């Protein structure tokens, strides 16, 4: 942890498993919190090492006045803009203590509440600045979840430069545990659903690079996203490094769909149909790619001049997934 001197002081309660201690937090130095007694400031300072606090299962609770708590309530009542001046008064100095994020307590939830208020008030630049200060690799997983929600909100708001800044931070995270990998996976899935295959590809590739139960699934989605990015070789490479997949393996249908996609691109429609048919047999209608799979099967029937089966597959797609882009494509094909 870097050495830093912090001027802002906060009343804090250290909650040990069997006792509580009230102090005035005055700063961080090296790997320790710096504090003084609550009663009066005699100029002396004491230190507690953060690793010791973690080892002793201590929670750090920042104590805020009623005005702060009232502002939090205002945010919940839809008055984020009105609450921001009060929230900022207390939370802006608090961000200087974010190096303590791995210690349990209310600091990160308070910063997240401020972040949510900024987003609700469309204060996108300030929200991004706050999110960039959070040490997401050390903070609780909820902080990474909120950063992911913010980057998507920035994208929806058309804030391209801010979106890119925050996405770069997320992509640059290191040494992530499983809950945080799951957060990145969820964000990658949302980018994919939005059709932003490059950002999805980046995050899937990051997740698959770390040993975890998500590795195989992430590699499949890397190959999938790579196909949509127009890569010629990468999809095959990532499929080749997968373990042997049995038909009842969780990722088997997606793997076969990707193979079908690649064979279609090569013009090998019989091979594509074999892969797509296997994917359809073992896929579940709740799979996120099932509508696309039905569309591929329908178009392959057309390519193979099996007209009646093609129409049936298009109609099934429209019936099951009427509001998808794949259903729209099928409607268009059926009317021509």
Is 269 in contact with 304 (CB distance < 8 Å)? yes
Which pLDDT score, from 0 to 100, does residue 250 have?
A: 86
Structure tokens at 11: 């009343």
> pLDDT tens digit string along 253-277?
999 999 999 999 999 999 999 999 9
Tell me the CATH number for domain 64-175: 1.25.40.10
> pLDDT tens digit string along 53-90?
999 999 999 999 999 999 999 988 989 889 999 999 99
Structure tokens at 315: 């109609």
At residue 1, does pLDDT exceed 60? no
- Tokens 């997949």 -> residue: 245
> pLDDT tens digit string along 298-315?
999 999 999 999 999 999
CA–CA distance, 8 with 5 (Å, rounded to integer): 9
At residue 129, does pLDDT exceed 60? yes
For the chain, the domains span 1-63, 64-175, 176-228, 244-336
Q: Are 64-175 and 244-336 the same fold in CATH?
A: yes
CA–CA distance, 103 with 139 (Å, rounded to integer): 8
Structure tokens at 197: 């295959």
Q: 3-state DSSP call for residue 228?
A: helix
**For domain 244-336, is the CATH number 1.20.1070.10?**
no
Q: Which residue stretches of the chain are H helix?
A: 50-55, 66-76, 80-94, 107-120, 124-133, 141-156, 160-171, 178-193, 197-208, 215-228, 234-240, 252-266, 269-282, 290-303, 307-320, 325-334
Q: What is the pTM of this model?
A: 0.88
């Amino acid at each position: 942890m870097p050495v830093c001197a912090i001027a802002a002081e906060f009343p804090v309660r250290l909650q040990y498993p069997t006792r509580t201690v009230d102090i005035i937090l005055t700063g961080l130095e090296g790997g320790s919190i710096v504090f003084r007694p609550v009663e009066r400031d005699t100029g002396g300072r004491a230190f507690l090492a953060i690793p010791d606090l973690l080892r002793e299962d201590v929670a750090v609770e920042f104590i805020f006045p009623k005005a702060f708590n009232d502002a939090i309530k205002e945010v919940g009542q839809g008055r984020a803009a009105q609450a921001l001046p009060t929230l900022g008064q207390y939370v802006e100095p608090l961000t200087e203590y974010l190096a303590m994020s791995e210690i349990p307590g209310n600091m990160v939830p308070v910063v997240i509440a401020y972040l949510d208020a900024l987003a609700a008030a469309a204060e996108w630049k300030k929200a991004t600045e706050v999110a960039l200060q959070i040490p997401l690799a050390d903070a609780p997983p909820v902080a990474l979840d909120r950063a992911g929600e913010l980057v998507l909100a920035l994208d929806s708001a058309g804030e391209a430069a801010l979106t890119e800044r925050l996405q770069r931070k997320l992509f640059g995270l290191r040494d992530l545990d499983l809950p945080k990998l799951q957060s990145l996976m969820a964000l990658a899935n949302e980018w994919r659903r939005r059709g932003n295959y490059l950002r999805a590809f980046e995050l899937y590739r990051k997740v698959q690079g770390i040993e975890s139960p998500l590795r195989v699934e992430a590699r499949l989605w890397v190959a999938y996203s790579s196909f949509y990015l127009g890569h010629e070789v990468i999809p095959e490479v990532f499929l080749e490094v997968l373990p042997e997949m049995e038909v009842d393996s969780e990722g088997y249908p997606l793997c076969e769909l990707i193979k079908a996609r690649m064979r279609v691109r090569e013009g090998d429609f019989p091979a594509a149909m074999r892969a797509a048919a296997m994917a359809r047999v073992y896929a579940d209608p709740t799979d996120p790619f099932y509508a696309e799979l039905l569309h591929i099967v329908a178009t392959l029937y057309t390519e193979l001049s099996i007209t009646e089966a093609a129409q049936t597959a298009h109609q099934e797609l429209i019936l099951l997934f009427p509001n998808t882009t794949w259903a729209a494509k099928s409607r268009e094909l059926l009317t021509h």
